A = this chain, B = another copy of it.
Amino acid sequence: MSENVVQRLRDEIENGIISNDFAPGERLDEVQLATRFGVSRTPIREALMQLNAIGLVEIRPRRGAIVIDPGPHRIFEMFEVMAEIEGMAGSLAARRLTDADRAAILAAHADCKRSSSAGDSDAYYYDNERFHRAIYAASHNDFLSEQCVALHRRLQPYRRLQLRVRNRVATSFSEHDAVVEALFAGDAERARTLLRQHVSIQGERFSDLVSTLSRR
């Protein structure tokens, strides 16, 4: 069997965390996971070490692994950084855009339009991700692109909540529209500002949401 096992486990557990299948604060029992996935403890441990390194899981010595609970404040911090690097990607993209990039962005944007006007927030969620990834790719900075994808992924559960609020999908799409215009006009600073705002808004809304609901 190939090394894919531990990678597979890593992805499965990571997905479980992202999709809130494993709740923040929850303890991840090694033997439990091992029996569940039909493997021994060893690859489970190796996967958990990886998640620990990424920052999704905390390993307390001799006391097992727990899913990290970022808390509203830290989530806000992550949105703050996301807004900035997303803006950076947009700025670079506006300057470095190739025809292929243009086509990919337009295609994703068109799909967003479709799912947006259909009011299908789940489909929009998927198309939105493709749209943003197309911009990351257009930055032609692979390292930045990877960082963006990783952070985007980590903020996924919180962003998903956002799309449920009234009119958010429509608003999001119109923001995309302005972004596309700036990108295609080669206006780096406007693309940066628009994308930064586009993301910050999500962060601030989220912050409002939790700070009124669950007080810590």
> What is the interface of chain A, defined by CB distance below 8 A to chain B?
2-4, 6, 10, 42, 45-47, 49-54, 59, 61-62, 74, 77-78, 80-81, 84-85, 88, 141-144, 147
Distance of A74 Cα from B140 Cα, bound (Å): 11
B residues near A54, Cβ cutoff 8 Å: 53-54
B residues near A144, Cβ cutoff 8 Å: 77, 80-81
Asked if A85 meets B81 with Cβ closer than 8 Å, knowing A2-B61, A49-B46, A49-B49, the reply is yes
Main secondary structure of the interface of A (DSSP, over half): helix
B residues near A49, Cβ cutoff 8 Å: 6, 46-47, 49-50, 53
**Interchain residue pairs with CB less than 8 A apart (12):** A3-B61, A4-B61, A45-B46, A49-B49, A50-B50, A50-B53, A51-B53, A74-B142, A78-B143, A80-B144, A81-B85, A81-B144
In the A-B complex, the 8 residue pairs with the closest CB atoms: A3-B61, A50-B53, A53-B53, A77-B143, A2-B61, A46-B49, A77-B141, A84-B88
Q: A45: nearest residue on chain B (CB-CB)?
A: B46
Scoring A45, A51, A143 by chain B CB atoms within 10 A of each residue's CB, the highest score goes to: A143
Distance of A2 Cα from B143 Cα, bound (Å): 35
